[in-house]
A and B are shown apart, each in its own frame.
Chain A
Amino acid sequence: MPGASAMRRRPLPGFVGSGLGFLRKQPFAVAGLAIYLTFILLAIFADQIATHDPREILFRGAYRVARYLPPSATHYLGTTAGGRDVFSQLVHGTRSALQVGVTAAFFVVVIGTLLGLLSGYLGGWVDRVIMRISDIILGLPFLPFVLVISALTRPGTTTLVASVALMLWPNTARVIRSQVLSLRERGWVEAARVTGCSTPRIIFVHIAPQVAPLAALYGSIAVGWAILTEASASFLGFGDPNAISWGLMLQDAFANQALSRGVWTWFVPPGLCIVLLVLAGFLVSRGSEKLLFPKLGD
């Protein structure tokens, strides 16, 4: 192919270069990414990092459960009322938090983007049906609905992820739809029609890549929401009883009156981790907002 020589000289795709420059200029986004990365590493190497089995009831001496141990070299954050190691629970809780956050965000993004694309490009009754459904969902109170779903079905991670996805897609769909409404009027979309592109090809090959960054932004917001929801549901006793999660740790601490006993090392760390992970999502989305809408002021 004669184009080979030209291919070699092809410059770095624009988004790679601008992405690097963007990272330098966005300390908040970098901080958010760093927090994500830390938690991802924690989740991957949880088995190596955790000092104990998070479910194991520890004993000191004969038949004496090691409850409420203060922080020490063996138990970095002490132990729970049930004699379990807090630090190991915290590390393993990262897994369920990320699992819930990432899977829920994935479904939110996929459903929201797909419906937003169809709604915005096809218009007509498709648009009306999708938007009325999203109106209804946006009108439902978020947490109570998740709790009702969890109560009606088997409580567990799957139910939680499904109900978070069900409740959060309308936000993504609406923003994607409005973006598509403006994109569909662009000359090159018209050109795609004139040059014989089928409707699915216009939607998925021409328009979808343009809304991908926006979809990613809503994904990073959804990660935070999903983690918060999982923690709330677990705290209220609607989580997966067998999972080890930060929400469940908080519930355990609450039920054993850790606050009045002053066992700070039991309930502050999981709370802090939830805050950090949710914060990371918002930092990243704020940073990518700058990338997406550079004209927005501070």
Chain B
Amino acid sequence: MVPLIAANDLVKAFPASRSLRDMARGHRPVLRAVNGVSLAVAAGRALGIVGESGCGKTTTARLLLRLEEATSGTVLFEGQNVSALHGAALLPFRSRVQLVFQNPFDALNPRFTIRRSLTEPLRNFGLPAAQWEAMIREAMARVRLDPAEAYLDRHPHELSGGQLQRVVLARALVTHPRAIIADEPVSMLDVSVRAGVLNVLRRARDELQLAAIYISHDLALIRYVCEEVAVMYLGRIVESGPTAEVIAGAAHPYTRALVAAVPVPRVDQDRGDLPIIGGLPDQRNQPSGCAFRDRCPLAFARCAEEAPPLRAIAPGRHAACHLA
């Protein structure tokens, strides 16, 4: 399997706020939002990145899209290192890797008609104007906004959330990209329209053989659309593998906690206690050894001394836990 898009040991460090003591000592503390993430997705496949708020999954997506420059590590697209590209050199990459936004109400310029929003990428990527109308209509048909005329000359405020997200999807697909990154694609939508948008995304992925990366906090969604999953905790991948296997037999205690936290559609169900407590620790005062140690129900002496590396535990499966 040759990956279409891959990340090697990506690190993104942001300057953190400095205390007076830091200044006196000349320290420049950094916050590693992403701390050595490697992943790979082949054409026609979907990878889900799952984790709680603040685990670095959105930053990972922004690094993959080159919206953010990595502190270290590389992003490879079709074997080419795109980390070093800037300005106009980045355009071919931009036209082939597109983003679906979390908030459809904020993702379209409120002053542009839908047609104008869809024309922007075609113009920017230098496609001949004669093809624009046909490509726009193809994209609108692909996201099931029929008939296109009913939407193209409207402004975003005239459409519903589900329709807007389909337009956002159409804009991502209009230039025929090779890979698509969806950051919480349905979390802002009504539950009733979520499945529709997800199905459109999945069908587009199959028909166009896209490499897809879904960012979500919702394991149920990931299971619905992704063959592979990577679980992130504090900027690192702690477990990865085929989605069904990871969910059925989670090797890392954090993954187990995520699985246990998935809501079940039964109101009277007693969920029992969640296996982990507390929230994310302060990034600057991470525990020694394993970053998950202070919340882990299984932590023992070795966890404090030694950070477990991400290692293979079965064919295609990796986990970062001494017990896995």
Contact with A along B95-107 (1 / 0, CB 8 A): 1001101110011
- By a CB distance below 8 angstroms, the chain B residues around A187 are 101-103, 106-107
Asked if A190 contacts B152 (CB within 8 A), the reply is no
Contacts of A2 in B (CB 8 A): 149
In contact, B155 and A196 (Cβ under 8 angstroms): no
- Asked if B98 and A194 sit within 8 Å, CB to CB, the answer is yes
User: How many pairs of A and B residues are in contact by the CB < 8 Å rule?
Assistant: 66
Pair A194/B153 contact, Cβ less than 8 Å? no
Known A191-B99, A192-B120, A194-B65; contact A3-B111, beta-carbon cutoff 8 A: no
Q: How far is the CA of A190 from the CA of B155 in the complex (A)?
A: 19
Verify B109–A194 contact, CB threshold 8 A: no
Measured CA separation A210–B106 after assembly (Å)? 14
B125 at the interface (CB under 8 A from A): yes
Q: Does A195 contact B (CB under 8 A)?
A: yes
Chain B residues in 8 Å Cβ range of A6: 149-150, 152-153
Q: Which of A10, A196, A209 contacts B94 (CB 8 A)?
A: A196
Cβ of B305 under 8 Å from chain A: no
Report if B124 contacts A (CB, 8 A).
yes
Residues of chain B contacted by A5 (CB below 8 angstroms): 149
Are A194 and B120 touching (Cβ within 8 A)? no
Nearest B residue (CB) for A14: B155
Chain B residues touching A, range: 20 to 34
- Asked if B120 and A195 make an inter-chain contact with CB atoms under 8 angstroms apart, the answer reads yes
Cβ-closest chain B residue relative to A209: B111
Q: How large is the interface on A (under 10, 10 to 19, 20 to 34, 35 or more residues)?
A: 20 to 34
- Residue A128 lies at the interface, judged by CB distance under 8 Å to chain B: no
Q: Taking the nearest CB of chain B, how far is it from the CB of A123, in angstroms?
A: 14
B91 touches A190 (CB 8 A): no
Q: What are the residues of chain A within 8 A of B175 when measuring CB–CB?
A: 195
CA distance A206 to B155 in the complex (A): 15
Contacting pair A195 B121 (CB below 8 A): yes
Q: Do the beta carbons of A10 and B149 come within 8 Å of each other?
A: no
Known: A192-B109, A196-B95. 4 other contacts (CB 8 A): A6-B152, A186-B106, A195-B98, A196-B94
29 A-B pairs within 8 Å (CB atoms) are namely: A2-B149, A3-B115, A3-B149, A3-B153, A6-B149, A10-B153, A187-B106, A187-B107, A188-B107, A190-B99, A190-B101, A191-B99, A191-B171, A192-B120, A193-B67, A194-B67, A194-B98, A195-B94, A195-B120, A195-B121, A195-B124, A195-B125, A195-B171, A196-B91, A196-B124, A198-B124, A201-B124, A209-B111, A210-B111
Considering the complex of A and B, which 7 residue pairs feature the smallest CB-CB distances, nearest first? A196-B124, A195-B121, A187-B106, A187-B107, A6-B149, A188-B109, A196-B94
Chain A residues engaging chain B, CB cutoff 8 angstroms: 1-3, 5-7, 10, 14, 186-188, 190-198, 201, 206, 209-210
